[in-house]
Chain A
Amino acid sequence: MGLSDLSASELLDQLQSGAVSSREVTQACLAAITVQDTAVHAFLHVDAADALQQAAAIDERRVRGESLGLLAGLPVALKDVLCQQGQPATCASKMLSGFIPPYDAHVVTKLKQADAVLLGRTNMDEFAMGSSSENSAFGVTRNPWDLSRIPGGSSSGSAAAVAARMTPVSLGSDTGGSIRQPAGLCGIVGMKPTYGRISRYGLIAYASSLDQIGPFGTDVRSVATVLEAISGHDPRDSTSVNQPVPEYSKSVDQPLTGLKIGIVPEHFSAGLDTEIAAAVKSAIDVYRSLGAEVREVALPHAKYCIATYYLIACSEASSNLSRYDGIHYGHRATSFKNLNEMYAASRGEGFGAEVKRRIMLGTYALSTGYYDQYYVKALKVRRLIRQDFDAAFQQVDVIAGPVTPTAAFAIGEKANDPLAMYLSDIYTISANLAGLPAISLPCGFTTGGLPIGLQLQGRPFDEDRVLRAARMYEATTDWHTRRPNG
């Protein structure tokens, strides 16, 4: 068994015991990247020398007997949306091509404090807008299970890199499903924590009230460990919540007794692939067999979630992306006659089609005369969606359901049909609108051999229970042990 067959939690045990060095693990990841990434294209930038140097420094400190952080020596890949001082951060956009942030995101600081090895930067849909990586300005990432298919998005590279065992763990960001959807389509575990659980400082914003950073791993334990390392209050993010961080890595293996699982009947109605419906239903049966009580809950406003999401997300994005004006940093057009032309040309050249579409949609929704009927109304529906969840969580501890309506689709299949693309987030979006924690974990395969994901959503700041519920299932199944080409 090679190093790349081990999960992050297993690697951490071996690193700690001295069975392997961080340098060896990092080297194995770099080798896997060399072999596989030409085909997968999960990474936009890998600074091998820097990664090896970090690894060597941690190994030295371990030899000296220094006390080390929670992720000591473990390689972590970062979605290209997270600022890391001295490394490029492009958001897979021509607009930020060549931009090198002069500061670290809060999660990067936390990873450094935990003695992780920052391995490289992963591909994504431009500015985190998309569900397939087809919106990247730097080429599509391919699904390691089937290279003709998309890996999901927008955290495409972070999911594909873990699925292909090029890195044991990675970070992504999730605004409407951008961690859970690619985790589901790539057959790995991905978690979006509660809004406010992890500081957004240094996360290049798409939609500020929805964006959350979260981890990918090959199993629940690894995800719990990384989540523990990067969570916590940060005074530099006003929306970061000052709540104690439980030791997820220690509690994740404790099964829950008397677990109440909610299912939403609408999740299983038209639009859901029958193989996925069957896999999710049998996952719920597994919970029943483990003693969980399963009951139906109603989320009456869930049907408005896509419309609500696109109004809020695009409105915020239209504003957040105003700073890319060609004046201070990023792409500037070379040919213009005056200031307005400089703005128009720089933005016209720098942004891709989907980003422009969302900026225009958001600009329209915030315009005088439309603001009340679009943006304000969307905020009201968002409150109703949150209230639905509050009521449901009076009755159940977690809500289980599918992650995506279909398994990974073919590259190009939906590229010219934005509405069909938007529907691939139908089950994941409401957790963002309500600010809830949610996890995606493998629960089966299609007859074509494509992974299927199970989603569990929990109460705000109840990540611990969500992780333990996920681990209960994982511990009795072996879907997470399967890997592409294996």
Chain B
Amino acid sequence: MSYDVIIGLEVHVQLQTQTKIFCGCSTAFNPDQPNVQTCPVCLGLPGALPVLNRHAMRLAVKTALGLGCQIAKFTKWDRKQYFYPDLPKGYQISQYDLPFSFDGHVDVDTGSGEPRRVRILRAHLEEDAGKNVHDESGRGRDSQVDLNRAGTPLVEIVTQPDLRTAAEARTFLQAMHSLLTFLEVSDCNMQEGSLRCDANVNLHVHQPDGSKVATPIVEVKNINSFRFTEQAILHEVDRQWELFQKTGKTIKDAPKTTRGFDPDRGVTTPMREKEEAADYRYFPDPDLVPVTFTDADIEAIRSEMCETPVSRRARFLGEYQLSAYDADVILDQGRAVADYFETVAKGSGDPKQAANWVTQDVLRELKERRLTLDAFSINADVLMSLLKRVSDKQLTIKSAREVFLLLLEQAEEHAPSTVRIDAIIAEKGLALVQDTGAMETAIAAVLARNAKAVADFKSGKQAAVGALIGQVMKELKGADAAVVREKIIAALS
């Protein structure tokens, strides 16, 4: 018997607003000072009322547009009701039957050529809960509640069960991360819980008669890293397969259960089941008014969106003729590096060279210096000027690297600039020889001195030209080898 793995994900993304979704409190991550970023609204005090943060709504719409979703013309807020200490009102303001967006898709590279299309069922906006802090000393002290996080805007993205392997799930999350950081809707900081995911996993077991039997669905909740997602699913697949072989239980025999992932042991473990099936008693929140969008509203938001990483990748491959490898290296670094590359590529007129420099020289220096791009002293315009001198044949690549390193070394005294580039070129005598008279004189002299090599070349030994080029180059500091080669061949034919 064999089986298919069926995976659907629910991804929770904290939006990067300055303030919470229904009040003016800061959303900064601040676990060391509990309950300081709170007010009557997010504390759920009697009489306090929520007011929608319009910016959160815009970021949510951007997120959905990036996922190719439809935006609802009319959306409303519903209360999801349950008791839990981190939920101060006894309900979470969320969206139930009319989410603000639905029907999108993300194409995931499966490594096998054909991408996997993961359909997005819906994306809705809601408020995050606070955090329960339990005594871990074992002394049984009271648990405490920190409501700094309560009311942080959260988009919940629900996929169809379209993923087929743990690796695909991981790739999907990476694509999501790339998209959301590119769109600058979330910092997706997984350590701080800005991106969390629940995975719904089960197996479709092939039967001898050709039919398939589904195992009970398990939801693994609150996974906070790409790697853990992959590990949790892998473990869950093995566990469900073993269990099915042992018990034969199918989706008809057992309800959906929830499990947590223990990263230390690499296993999923059962979570305490609620005593009775949860009935969230959703109903429209009477404290909030519905939100309506016109086509013009949606287009206005779309027009302020940057290109998605997927479409940018396609453009890098087409417009700039980059290799898939280079394009991915650049895009994986995020939007700032991609913008930097594009500025250099367009300005220098040599995208391939620009990609080499960004993926090698720039990223190497950033790594060594532990810098982010915005703190890097050679901005895109300066690198563009440098590479322009190479493509204009004023400088060799080798000399350009020397200038690049000198710019960095001297960055503290002299901010790197086009003027600095030219100063270094002059100082070090790196300017490429443009004087064809001088070059021709030198070539003539070298040819005269090397009768044997000349004879070899004429008798068909192409390699002989190498030695001749070397000697001309030695006489002319800063000459372009390709030009010298051309001229020697012309002189000899």
B46 and A322 form a contact (CB under 8 A): no
Given the contacts A102-B40, A319-B91, A327-B145, A339 and B47 also touching, CB distance less than 8 Å:
no
Instruction: Report A-chain residues with C-beta under 8 Å of the C-beta of B85.
Output: 325, 327, 339
Closest chain-B Cβ to A328's Cβ sits at a distance in Å of 5
Pairwise interchain contact B279-A368, C-beta atoms closer than 8 A: yes
Interface set, chain B 84-115, CB cutoff 8 A to A = 85, 88-91
B447 at the interface (CB under 8 A from A): no
A409 proximal to B (CB < 8 A): no
Q: How far is B46's CA from A236's CA once the two chains are assembled, in angstroms? A: 14
Given contacts A201-B49, A235-B51, are A319 and B279 in contact (CB under 8 A)?
Answer: no
Contacts of A209 in B (CB 8 A): 286
Within B389-415, which residues are at the interface with A (CB < 8 Å)? none
A208-B287, A363-B281, A371-B283 are contacts. A319–B79 as well, Cβ < 8 Å? yes
Q: Closest CB of chain B to A396's CB: distance in Å?
A: 29
B47→A323 contact, CB < 8 A: no
Digitize A64-106: 1 where CB-to-B-CB distance is under 8 Å, 0 elsewhere: 0000000000000000001100000101000010010111010
- For A369, the closest partner residue in chain B by CB is B279
**Mask of A299-332 contacts with B, CB within 8 angstroms, 1/0:** 0000000000000000110110111110111000
For residue A205, CB closer than 8 A to chain B, the reply is yes
List residues 253-275 of chain B with CB under 8 A from any CB of chain A: 275
CB distance from B129 to the nearest CB of A (A): 13
Check: B48 CB closer than 8 A to any chain A CB. Answer: yes
**What chain B residues lie within 8 Å of A102 (beta carbons)?**
40, 45
Does B344 belong to the interface (CB within 8 Å)? no
- In this complex, how many residues of chain A approach chain B with their Cβ under 8 Å: the count is 45
- By the criterion CB–CB under 8 Å, are B46 and A101 in contact? yes
Q: Is B52 an interface residue (CB 8 A)?
A: yes
Question: What's the least CB distance linking B235 to chain A, in Å?
Answer: 29
Q: How far is the CA of A325 from the CA of B44 in the complex (A)?
A: 11
List, in ascending order, chain B residues with CB within 8 A of A389's CB: none
A178 smallest CB distance to B (angstroms): 16
Interface string of A355-391 (1 = CB under 8 A from B): 0000000010011100100010000000000000000
> With an 8 A cutoff between CB atoms, is B81 at the interface?
yes
Question: Would you list which residues of chain A between 172 and 210 have a CB under 8 Å from chain B?
Answer: 200-205, 207-209
Q: Is the CB of A236 within 8 A of B51?
A: yes
Chain B residues numbered 278-333 whose CB sits less than 8 Å from any CB in chain A: 279, 281-283, 286-289
Any A CB within 8 A of the CB of B83? yes
Q: Is the CB of B83 within 8 A of A343?
A: yes
A202 and B286 in contact (CB under 8 A), knowing A343-B83, A367-B279? Answer: no
Residue A243, interface by CB 8 Å: no
Contact with A along B10-50 (1 / 0, CB 8 A): 00000000000000000000000000000010011111111
Report if A237 contacts B (CB, 8 A).
Answer: yes
Please pick, from B44, B50, B88, B283, the residue contacting A315 in the complex, using a CB distance under 8 A.
B283
Q: Are A237 and B46 in contact, CB atoms less than 8 angstroms apart?
A: no
Interface size, chain B (Cβ < 8 Å) = 29
The reply to whether B288 and A238 form a contact with Cβ atoms under 8 Å apart is: yes
When the two chains form the complex, which single residue of A207, A318, A323, A363 contacts B44, counting CB atoms closer than 8 Å? A323
Interface residues of A in 220-241 (CB under 8 A from B): 235-239
Given contacts A238-B287, A316-B286, A367-B281, contact A328 B48 (CB under 8 A): no
Tell me the minimal C-beta distance from A145 to chain B in angstroms: 32
Residue in B43, B46, B91 whose beta carbon sits within 8 Å of that of A96 in the complex: B46
Residues of B within 8 A of A89 (CB): 46-47
Give A100 Cβ to nearest chain B Cβ, in Å.
Answer: 11
Q: Bound complex: CA of A315 vs CA of B43, how far in Å?
A: 22
- CB of A239 within 8 A of CB of B45, answer no
CA distance A478 to B91 in the complex (A): 50
- With A83-B47, A102-B40, A363-B281 known as contacts, the answer to whether A323 contacts B88 (CB < 8 A) is yes
B435-456 Cβ-contact flags toward A at 8 Å (1 or 0) = 0000000000000000000000
* Chain A residue nearest in CB terms to B50: A238
Residues facing A in B67-89 (CB within 8 A) are 79, 81, 83, 85, 88-89
Known A-B contacts A238-B289, A319-B79, A323-B44; A328 and B145 likewise in contact (beta carbons under 8 Å): yes
A203 cross-chain contacts in B, Cβ below 8 A? 47
* Beta-carbon nearest neighbor of B278 in chain A: A368
Question: Which of A203, A322, A371 has the most chain B CB atoms inside 10 A of its CB?
Answer: A322
CB distance from A402 to the nearest CB of B (A): 29
* CB of A340 within 8 Å of the partner chain: yes
Output the residue of A321, A323, A367 with the most chain B CB within 10 A. A323
Say whether B40 contacts A103, CB under 8 Å. yes
Task: Tell me whether A83 and B283 are in contact in the complex, defined as CB-CB below 8 angstroms, given that A239-B289, A322-B91, A323-B88 are known contacts.
Answer: no
Whether the pair A325, B90 counts as a contact (CB closer than 8 A) is: yes
Kindly provide the distance from the CB of A174 to the nearest chain B CB, expressed in whole angstroms.
Answer: 16
Contact of B89 among A235, A238, A322 (CB under 8 A): A322
Docked Cα-Cα span, A340 to B287, in Å, equals 28
Complex contact B46–A91 (CB within 8 A): yes
**Which B residue sits closest to A312, measured CB to CB?**
B286
Point out the residues of chain A lying under 8 angstroms from B44, CB to CB.
323, 328
| Residue of A whose beta carbon sits closest to that of B283 | A366
Q: In the complex, are the beta carbons of A238 and B46 less than 8 A apart?
A: no
| Beta-carbon contact of B47 and A205 below 8 Å | yes
| Chain A residues with CB below 8 A from B288, complex form | 238
Which residue from chain B places its CB closest to the CB of A209 in the assembled complex? B286
Contact of A99 among B46, B48, B49, B90 (CB under 8 A): B46
Chain B nearest CB from A339 CB (Å) reads 7
Contact at A323–B89, with CB atoms within 8 Å? Answer: yes
- Beta-carbon contact of B289 and A101 below 8 Å: no
Check A328 against B51 for contact (C-beta < 8 Å): no
**Residue numbers in A under 8 Å from B43 (CB-CB):** 328
Q: Tell whether, in the assembled complex, residue B90 and residue A322 are in contact, meaning their CB atoms are under 8 Å apart.
A: yes
Q: How far is the CA of A327 from the CA of B81 in the complex (A)?
A: 16
Once the chains are docked, how many angstroms separate the CA of A238 from the CA of B23? 12
| Contact of A201 with B48 at beta-carbon distance under 8 Å, contacts A319-B90, A328-B88 already known | yes
Kindly supply a per-residue 1/0 record for chain A positions 321-357, scoring 1 wherever the CB is within 8 Å of any chain B CB and 0 otherwise: 1111101110000000001100100000000000000
Q: For the A-B complex with A102-B40, A238-B49, A324-B90 known, give 17 more contacts whose Cβ atoms are closer than 8 Å.
A: A83-B47, A91-B46, A101-B47, A201-B48, A207-B286, A237-B51, A238-B51, A239-B286, A318-B281, A319-B81, A319-B283, A321-B90, A322-B83, A323-B46, A329-B45, A368-B281, A371-B283
- 22 A-B residue pairs with Cβ-Cβ distance under 8 Å, sorted by A, are A83-B45, A83-B46, A89-B47, A101-B46, A103-B40, A103-B48, A201-B47, A208-B287, A235-B51, A239-B286, A239-B287, A321-B90, A322-B83, A325-B83, A328-B44, A328-B88, A328-B145, A329-B45, A363-B281, A367-B281, A368-B281, A371-B283
Question: Top 6 A-B pairs ranked by shortest CB distance?
Answer: A322-B90, A208-B286, A209-B286, A366-B281, A204-B46, A202-B47
